Structure 1
């Protein structure tokens, strides 16, 4: 009886392994999404080599507070070296990851000039609270990421709203609602008012 159970288990596992090896390559799922397209087969090496450009100059446009050299330093691109689309893509991701920019685009001018256009995120000028009952403004500010003279991003604002809601819940204010208002100022600055 014990041998028969082991044999059935071994056959069952072998069948599952074989089925997975046949079906799994066709059913690729991204985390939290439905079925993705079938996995692509790798192309021959000659077809994968993307056109390369040798950059002689990097021109940065759109900076206000940030020095163009700072933008150049974040790029994975060196003058006189061949540049591919993959290198440009990595450079764009690196620039976005700094949190300094709302938008970044890259283009080629005259065949050898890399043009990097940036739109800087604004700087927080002032943070204010309206409708505080029992909580102190200084206690709320101590818990927040955003502060005066810090780069404003939506993700920081959303995180701060969630932190403030958590603080209110800890203080038995379960029905509290927080509505942030962003007031655009000159010189790429913003005031933030939490109501």
Structure 2
């Protein structure tokens, strides 16, 4: 009788383990693989290419850059009012603008977090079109609105003219494609 109970318990444990494994595969592994296969998940080299494209346009790689017109900060020219909420979301704690400027490693972590978030939304909204998704991410970074990527209206900040959103997003796309 005890032998039969041990076999039943062993069978039950195997079923539970197999069930957990199947649930893990179905719930996490397969959807992740499908997202990569469909171009919907951002792989690290694409994230790096997108970050370098935006940074090349925004600060030329200067972690201490401060835009004289907008006050945008650092490597990715993050608006000062975004530093606290973006750092909280990416790091779990808030940074001040001065702390943000002093920490290149944290600037990269925050940029990666936001760009990945923007990418996921853009690739879904673009139906998987990576070129449109890159332009949507660039538009959101530049204007706050992903859907304005084709806007030809010149942009102004404190009286200074900046490129249109369309010009900006096409420039980012070109840089991205060169990586």
Task: Report if TM-score (shorter chain) is over 0.5.
Answer: no
- Structure of greater Rg: 1
Structure 1 or 2: larger strand share? 1
- Normalising by structure 1, we get a TM-score of 0.28
Structure 1 or 2: larger helix share? 2
- Normalising by structure 2, we get a TM-score of 0.30
